[in-house]
């Protein structure tokens, strides 16, 4: 009888499982295979300086991308103008012949 009680006691001991993906800790009852309790990892709060630095980096990256896009558009426009002028000169040559 005592061995049955000890066996049930061992089986009824709750164990913890840690999820490496979401950092949640689960307490599971081995007898019922149910989650008894779960606890999510608390997010670390950053300082205002860290937040400002992060936002400054974001802004710099957006500005850099904007400048690169603007430069690409200027280059496309310049090439289109060259092609247009070339086409006009070819039309003028054909008309004068």
Residues 34 and 49 in one domain: no
Domain extent, residue 74, equals 45-97
The pair of structure tokens assigned to 19 is 């999820």
Residues 92 and 58 in one domain: yes
Residues 93 and 62 in one domain: yes
Residues 54 and 83 in one domain: yes
Total domains present in the chain: 2
pTM: 0.44
pLDDT grade, residue 83 (50/70/90)? very high
How high is the pLDDT of residue 10? Answer: 52
Residues 68 and 82 in one domain: yes
Residues 50 and 91 in one domain: yes
Give the chain's radius of gyration (CA, Å): 35
pLDDT grade, residue 16 (50/70/90)? confident
Place of tokens 């070339």: 86
Residues 32 and 72 in one domain: no
Residues 34 and 15 in one domain: yes
Residues 56 and 84 in one domain: yes
Question: Are 24 and 40 a contacting pair, CB within 8 Å?
Answer: yes
**pLDDT by residue (tens digit) across 23-73?**
889 888 888 888 888 888 877 777 888 899 999 999 999 999 999 999 999
Residues 80 and 34 in one domain: no
Q: What DSSP letter does each residue of 23-92 carry, written as one string?
A: --EEEEETTTTEEEEEEPPPPPPPPHHHHHHHHHHHHHHHHHHHHHHHHHHHHHHHHHHHHHHHHHHHHH
């Amino acid at each position: 009888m005592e061995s049955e009680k000890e066996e049930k006691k061992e089986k009824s001991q709750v164990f913890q499982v840690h999820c490496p993906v979401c950092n949640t800790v689960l307490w599971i009852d081995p007898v019922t295979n149910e989650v008894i309790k779960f606890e999510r990892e608390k997010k670390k709060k950053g300082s205002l300086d860290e937040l400002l630095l992060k936002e400054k980096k974001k802004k710099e990256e957006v500005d850099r991308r904007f400048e690169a896009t603007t430069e690409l558009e200027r280059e496309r426009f310049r090439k289109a103008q060259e092609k247009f002028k070339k086409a006009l000169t070819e039309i003028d040559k054909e008309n004068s012949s």
